[in-house]
Structure 1
Amino acid sequence: MMQSPEGTLTPAQFEILQLLWDAEAGLSAAEIWEAIRESRDVSRTTISNLVDRLEKRNWLVRSKEEGVFRYVPSVDREATEGKLAAEFVGDFFNGSAANIVLSLLGSNQISSAELKRLKAILDESKSRKK
């Protein structure tokens, strides 16, 4: 049985997981580094260390294919994003999802398209609870 991931994620670690969720067959540490360095300057050693830590903390699973270690996430995107969102709301908004939404609305950070999407999600959630 696979162990649950330990600890929380840094933005850089989450970036690695996002790349891996989008990759069909996983990626090597070198491929992860190449993808990330397209958008910002980062050393190969830094990425290797991040990947190694993620694997040791059970966020990634490693397999060897044709002499190269490939990594895949051990958790799905939705569960991880939900965990991170809950931690963020707990740490910064006293555990209140309403407070974060009100904060975003007050700062004009939500587009009209996002508002429509939120309304649809709320309506769907409300109908499931009936």
Structure 2
Amino acid sequence: MKKAECNISDAEWIVMKVLWEETPSPLTSAKIVEAVSSNKKWSPKTIHSLISRLVKKGAIGVKKEMPLYEYYPLVDKRDCVLEETRSFIQKVYDGSIHLMLANFIKEEKISEKEIEELERLLHKKNND
């Protein structure tokens, strides 16, 4: 999978999640519509439009096997998650991970287990 910009909308993320998580890949548009429709009340036409936009953006590829087209991801989920996370931190917290973490720790309920996991991750990062 190529590393590419993952400039995709919230609605497009839903389609991408189907392609990243459903197996086997590639999937026909009918399978994508079926999977998306199980969670969203979107028309098939809307879902087909999202698929087309993702193809144009280079986020998904298409195998043109007659009579069906099959779609598959061209971008890696992990890369897109990291890019979206960085974009969010830059936009909302001016790029400061410290401000983001401090805000979440102060404002959100965090379980003891989550605190232990954060401590473990920070300790590991500190020792790398």
Give the TM-score range, shorter chain. Answer: 0.7 to 0.9
Q: Quick check: 1:29–1:48 contact (8 Å CA) kept in 2?
A: yes
Match of 2:21 in 1: 22
Structure 2 counterparts to residues 64-79 of structure 1, below 5 A: 64-65=64-65, 67-79=67-79
Calculate percent identity across the aligned residue pairs.
24
When residues 6 and 81 of structure 1 are mapped into structure 2, their CA distance, relative to the original with a 3 A threshold, is closer
Match of 1:11 in 2: 10
CA RMSD in angstroms, aligned pairs only: 2.1
When residues 106 and 68 of structure 1 are mapped into structure 2, their CA distance, relative to the original with a 3 A threshold, is same
d(CA) in 1 for partners of 2:21 and 2:6? 23
Match of 1:50 in 2: 50
d(CA) in 2 for partners of 1:26 and 1:113? 38
d(CA) in 2 for partners of 1:86 and 1:74? 20
For these two proteins, the number of residue pairs brought into alignment is 127
CA offset digits 1:33-88 (Å, max 9, x no partner):
11111122101011100110111110111113453111111111111100000001
Structure 2 counterparts to residues 111-130 of structure 1, below 5 A: 111-128=111-128
When residues 112 and 61 of structure 1 are mapped into structure 2, their CA distance, relative to the original with a 3 A threshold, is farther
Q: What TM-score results when the alignment is normalised by the length of structure 2?
A: 0.86
Match of 2:35 in 1: 35
Larger RCO (alpha carbons 8 Å, 6+ apart): 2
Of 46-55 and 70-79, more deviation after overlay is shown by 70-79
Gaps of 5+ in 2: none
Q: What TM-score results when the alignment is normalised by the length of structure 1?
A: 0.85
